[in-house]
Amino acid sequence: MSVDGDADPRHYVRLMDLARGGRDGDPAQYRGVFDTLAVVEGEHVLDVGCGTGGAVRALAAMVGGVGRVVGLDVSRTMVEEARARAANFAATVEFVLGDAHAMPFPDDMFDAAYALRVFEILGDPRRVLSEMARVLRPGGRLVVNGIDMDAWTIDSPDREVTRRIMHHACDAETNGWVGRRLPRWCKELGLTDVRVTPVANAFHEFESLYELVLRTFVESAAAAGVVTADEAARWVEDLRERDRRGLFFCSQTFFRVAATKSSRQ
């Protein structure tokens, strides 16, 4: 996915706001990552794939006036939007345009680093993890959220069509299994204290989720011939009907992987 190469790059800004529940969203959505990172005042922290910078702004108060939070994103659209939204945080936040596969930072620069919703779309996620480790100081901490596309659940009356659509969605994603691979990669890179926390998000409202992801899943499956047009339309209508009756349910599970850079690295 290339945000800046899209005919309407700001479409992705709107999608990100929708996913986060608004322009800034609820800062509580980042609490799990921040608690795991255990950031303290004065630290320098890196956000990889920062998007519009919601997490960076939420973290600014935790690092205080002598700390700094740096957001890195490959999209100029996202970086410019993040800078505009952080006009009141200039003393503690910075947004950098750059490729996470070759980060424009020296070794041992940050006390902590995290990535929220980007590893599933990276060209080489293991390399990016290695780059995160490189820019951490010895003893530094990292946290990465990694989705597992085979861990979606959707309560649909048609089990077979649901399986075909969701298996196709997993295989069509650039890194559909990245969540289950992150712990191994951390260990292979020599990181220590590797911890894994599964996190499940439950959804009870169809239309917003359809606009965010389900439309892409079902349209991609139909275009690939995994389901017929009739099966796709019926699947969507069945879910809409359940939604109208207050019975829609879907969940997404990802894995929050935390690790520490050895003091000997």
Per-residue pLDDT of the chain (265 residues; tens, 9 = 90+): 577 666 666 665 666 656 555 555 556 778 899 999 999 999 999 999 999 999 999 999 899 989 999 999 999 999 999 999 998 887 899 999 999 999 999 999 999 999 998 999 999 999 999 999 999 999 999 999 999 999 999 999 999 999 999 999 999 999 999 999 999 999 999 999 999 999 999 999 999 999 989 999 999 999 999 999 999 999 999 999 999 999 999 999 999 999 999 987 6
Backbone φ/ψ region at 49: left (φ over 0), alpha (ψ -120 to 50), beta: left
Q: How far is CA 23 from the centre of its chain?
A: 16
Q: Which residues fall within 8 angstroms of residue 213, CB to CB, at 6 or more apart?
A: none
Number of helices and strands in the chain (H, E): 10, 8
For residue 91, what pLDDT is reported? 83
pLDDT at 212: 87
What tokens were used for 118?
């980007």
Amino acid present at 124: D
From the list 57, 54, 62, the residue with the least C-alpha distance to 22 is 54
Rounded to two decimals, the pTM is: 0.89
